[in-house]
Structure 1
């Protein structure tokens, strides 16, 4: 059975634009998927990336154009300059880690956190928002309080794992055969790889 490590950041608009497709692709091919939320700014710092605010204006303008195009193609509402971005991504990441340990539709939870930030202008660092997104996604809102120390350790480990595995952005998908796919616009390639076509 194939396996996918899915490195992502709840603050990444491109993670949001992935929707629930990573889970759907995994299910289509009978693959397992491990959700690995991480600190994207720390990943940039470790792998030669630059935070969006520090990029050349040409890159910033292109990013905004790309967000508009990709959101239209995905059929997802997106505010390219959300009210609460950047914010602290750790609380939402901890909730996702706890949910994965609990079992349930983690793919939908990841997407709902992205929507809260990028489509609903909500601050996903706030406890009330984290609890609401958990409940909306079919999880107990109390998961926000479970295993915080363990989730913090996993969150830090995910960053180390990402660097060691060759990831440098989000979303980033790595198969058990060490095939790497960066960006939501490479999901078709991941699908084709799992089908044995590339």
Structure 2
């Protein structure tokens, strides 16, 4: 069985696209998925990436074209300008990790949260949203923020050390696959 380390960020629509794709692909291969939410700001600072609003206008426009193309191609509808983006995703990341630890549903939680942010105009940082998600996934408790922050910092350090610089990133046997459009190569590595 191969292990897939999956580094992602809930604020990334590309991570939503990859999460939906990987959910349908993993059952076809003898692979396990290790969810690794990261701190995208720290990753960008360490690797020379820029937050969206600091990128050139040309890059920002092209990003929107690509998001629209991929949304249509993958049949994953999103709002290109969600009301609550970017948002503080810290508590939502704690939801993902809690769901993974408690019932192995971290990926499902990440997809659900991504859809709420990118499709349904939901502020994923509110206590009401957190409580609703906890109930929806039958979670008994939410991981404390300190533990969540420590795990995310460790995941971010690990990704930087392994040569990653963006999300989504998949790593299999020390081979790095960056971007949801590289899933075809991830599949080859899993065969």
TM superposition score normalised by structure 1: 0.90
Q: Quick check: 2:13–2:118 contact (8 Å CA) kept in 1?
A: yes
After TM superposition, list the pairs within 5 Å mapping 1:41-80 onto structure 2: 41-80=41-80
Structure 1 window deviating more from structure 2 (86-95 vs 21-30): it is 21-30
Q: Quick check: 1:23–1:33 contact (8 Å CA) kept in 2?
A: no
Pair 37,139 (structure 1): closer, same or farther in 2 beyond 3 Å: farther
Q: Tell me by how many angstroms 1:48 deviates.
A: 0.9
- Unpaired runs of 5+ residues, structure 1, are none
After TM superposition, list the pairs within 5 Å mapping 1:79-98 onto structure 2: 79-98=79-98
Q: Quick check: 1:97–1:154 contact (8 Å CA) kept in 2?
A: no
Match of 1:124 in 2: 124
Distance 1:131 1:63 in 2: 33
Pair 135,28 (structure 1): closer, same or farther in 2 beyond 3 Å: farther
Aligned length: 191
3-state SS of paired residue (2:33): strand
3-state SS of paired residue (1:20): helix
3-state SS of paired residue (2:50): coil
Match of 2:31 in 1: 31
Q: Deviations over 1:14-70 (max 9, x none)?
A: 011124322333332111111011111221111111111000100000000001001
Q: Deviations over 1:174-197 (max 9, x none)?
A: 01x1111111111121112211xx
Distance 2:148 2:71 in 1: 31
Match of 2:186 in 1: 190
TM superposition score normalised by structure 2: 0.93
What RMSD over aligned residues (CA atoms) do the two structures have, in Å? 1.5
